[in-house]
Amino acid sequence: MIQVKSEREIELMRRACAVTAASRALAGEMIAQGMLTEEIDRAVHDFMRQHGAVPSFLNYNGYPKSVCISVNEEVIHGIPGKRKLKEGDIVSVDVGAFLNGFHGDCADTFAVGRIDENAKKLIEVTRQSFFEGIKFARPGYRVSDISHAIQAYAESFGFSVVREYVGHGVGARLHEDPEIPNYGEPGHGPRLIPGMTIAIEPMINMGRPQIRVLNDGWTVVTADARPSAHYENTVLITRDEPEILTVFHGAG
Ligand code: MF3
Ligand code: CO
C-alpha cells in the first residue's frame, strides 16, 4: 500500500532528508586519493548522530555499515572498509538517515581526481537520467512514465540500466511501495498523487546491464566489470513541480 504523507509528515521528511543530503555532501567532500572508504563511513555516521539522526542502513537486513560506498564496477551496496581510493576511481555513495520517525535516502557518484572521459560521461548521464525521470513525477502520470524516461535517456548514450534493483517509496520505512524501476514501457504502475514520497535512483552501467553479487552477500558488481554509476534523491509529489527533499541547505 502506498503511504500518502500528511503536511505534518512531509515537514518531518524534509528534516530527515536535509540531514541525509548534508551527509551525502560531507561524503563527497571527503572523496580523495588515499582516503579509506571506512573513514567516510565513520565521518557520516558521526555526523548523523550529531544531528540526532540514526543511519538508516546500519543493521538494515544485517547490513554492517552506515553508508554504501561502491567503487568503479561496484554498482551498489559496497561495504566500506580498508579500500583506499585512488585517482581515476568513480565512487558511488549512498546514504540514508532516520530522524523523527522518517527516512531520507540519496546517492551520488564522485570522481577521484582525474577520471577518463567515458566515466565522466557515465556520471553525467546517470545524474541527468534522474532529472529526465522527475519530469514525470507529478499528477497525471504513472510510475512507469518516470521509469521509461530514465531508460530512454540512459540508453540513448549507449549505456544500460540495472534491472534487479529499483527505486521505491520512502517514509516511515526505508523501502515502501511503490517500486520505481529505471526501465519499462510508459503508462503502467500506480498513478502519482500529491503527498507520495519516492526515492528515484537510476543505476546505470557503462557496458552490459547484468550484475552479480559478491560473496560478502552485499556488494553488487557489473558482470562485465565495467564501471557503474548511481544517483538518487527522495522526491515529494506535489500538485505541480516535484520537490526534491534531499537538498543540502548549507552549513549555517
Ligand atoms: N540505499 C539503498 C536504497 O536506496 C538501500 C541500502 S540497503 C542497505 O534502497 F542494506 F545497504 F542498507
Ligand atoms: Co533508495
Domain count, the chain: 1
* pLDDT at residue 42 in the model: 99
What pLDDT score does 209 carry?
99
95 lines ligand 1 (CB under 6 A): no
Task: Flag whether 169 is in a domain.
Answer: yes
- CB of 157 sitting under 6 A from ligand 1: no
Find out whether the beta carbon of 60 lies less than 6 Å from any atom of ligand 1: yes
In this prediction, residue 102 carries a pLDDT of: 98
| Domain contains 51 | yes
What confidence score (pLDDT) does residue 251 get? Answer: 65
Query: Is the bond preceding residue 186 a cis peptide, omega within 30 degrees?
Result: no
Task: Give the residue whose CA is nearest to atom 7 of ligand 1.
Answer: 57
CA–centroid distance, 251 to ligand 1, in Å, is 26
| pLDDT at residue 57 in the model | 98
Eight-state DSSP code of residue 36: B
Q: What is the number of the ligand 1 atom nearest to the C-alpha of 174?
A: 9
Domain that holds residue 123: 7-244
Query: Residue with the nearest Cα to atom 8 of ligand 1?
Result: 57
Give the C-alpha separation, 111 to 148, whole Å. 27
- On the 0-12 / 13-18 / 19+ scale of CB atoms within 10 A, 172 is middle
Q: How far is ligand 2, taken at its centre, from the CA of residue 156, in Å?
A: 24
Ligand 1 in contact with 63 (CB < 6 A)? yes
Tell whether ligand 1 has an atom less than 6 A from the beta carbon of residue 165: no
Q: How far apart are CA 8 and CA 175, in angstroms?
A: 20
Residue 132 included in any domain: yes
Ligand 2 midpoint to CA 92 (Å): 13
Q: What's the rounded Cα separation, in Å, for the pair 56 and 102?
A: 9
CB of residue 176 inside a 6 A radius of ligand 1: no
Does residue 250 lie within any of the structural domains?
A: no
pTM of the full predicted structure? 0.98
Secondary structure of 75-88 as H, E, C letters? EECCCCCCCECCCC
Ligand positioned closest to the Cα atom of 77? 1
Residue 252 lies in a domain: no
In a domain, 249, yes or no: no
Domain assignment present for 41: yes
> In this predicted model, what pLDDT tens digit does every residue of 134-191 receive, in sequence order?
999 999 999 999 999 999 999 999 999 999 999 999 999 999 999 999 999 999 999 9
What does R_g of the chain's alpha carbons equal in angstroms? 17
In CATH, what number is assigned to the domain containing residue 212? 3.90.230.10
> Is residue 2 in a domain?
no
Residues of the chain with pLDDT under 70: 251-252
Q: Distances from the Cα of 74 to the Cαs of 12, 41, 85, in angstroms?
A: 33, 17, 13
